[in-house]
Amino acid sequence: MKASRSSRMLSYAAVAVLLVVYIVPLLFVFNVSFKSFTEYLLDPIGVVQSIQWNNYKEAWTQGNFADYFSNSLLYTVVATVLTLIVSLFGAFPVARGYVKWSGFIYLFFLLSQFLPNPMVAQFKLMLALKQELGFVGYDTKLGYILLKTSGTGIVFMMFTGYIKAISRELDEAAGMDGCGYNRYLFQIIMPLMKPVIATGVILTAIGIWNDFVGPVMYLPSPDNYPITFGLKEFRGQYGNNWPMLACGIMIVSAPLIILYTFIQKYIVDGALAGAVKA
């Protein structure tokens, strides 16, 4: 009983520490976003006394978020959907062993997660594509989408592990009924993979939506800027307007928070399934 009570207390302490680490910074930014610049200078960490609702309206205009939001939405939605489709088409034959050296292919993707980011090679590839094709590659929306779609390693491995747990009898039954390959994947396999698909969606969307270094390297034109570039607008010559910057951070993070709210019930199950069943 004592051991059980001590372990329970340790668990509560660990949860409390995690709440402080993750929730307190978010609450601090949210609190600062409603302060005036003068109030922030007088009391940076205190609770807001006079809520400035117009801060978000001013931040939306000053950060040009209306222009950048559509770009980020395009990049995130299209690249995430393509990532899921490519991962599904790659993971299914590997998980079932329908291709030669499927174990080596899975090991190759696993090892790739420990390699450094090939930024130099990717940059040269994007330049070459731009020079050869023009409509895809460096400083093009399509090129950036394809570049973000190529980062399917973790989603591929999660899908592979999850598909291994799905009975092979479904494959045989579908084949006897004359079900086509694509129809089988989209109408039978995908509905069974909702938890791991939700996990793949949130992981991929976070990586694309919050990316700042990638657009700096590959999207120099203002017409292609994502929403994260709006945060640069709050940098002053002699200092930053922290309440406006806090509003910008909340605006950038709000879509991901909403997305997570709707699919969070699938994420833990999907992550565990993809890790344990592999």
Query: Which is higher by pLDDT, 190 or 115?
Result: 190
The predicted pLDDT at position 122 comes to: 86
Ordered domains of the chain (ranges, CATH): 68-226+255-276 (1.10.3720.10)
- At position 193, the amino acid (one-letter code) is M
What is the residue-averaged pLDDT of the chain? 84
User: For residue 229, which of 37, 34, 54, 62 has the smallest C-alpha distance?
Assistant: 62
What sign results for the dihedral spanned by CA atoms 261, 266, 267, 269? positive
Q: What spatial distance separates the first Cα and last Cα of the chain, rounded to whole Å? A: 36
Q: Provide the token pair at 7.
A: 């372990």
Longest C-alpha distance within the chain, in Å?
74
Q: Which range has the worst mean pLDDT, 28-32, 84-88, 261-265?
A: 261-265
pLDDT for residue 267 is more than 70: no
String of DSSP letters for 78-114: HHHHHHHHHHHHHHHHHHHT-STTHHHHHHHHHHHTT
The mean pLDDT of 144-173, rounded to a whole number, is: 85
Residue range 213-219: mean pLDDT, rounded: 89
- Report the sign of the C-alpha dihedral through residues 83, 86, 88, 94, in that order: negative
Looking at the predicted structure, is the pLDDT value of residue 196 above 90? no
Please say whether the beta carbons of 155 and 270 come within 8 A: no
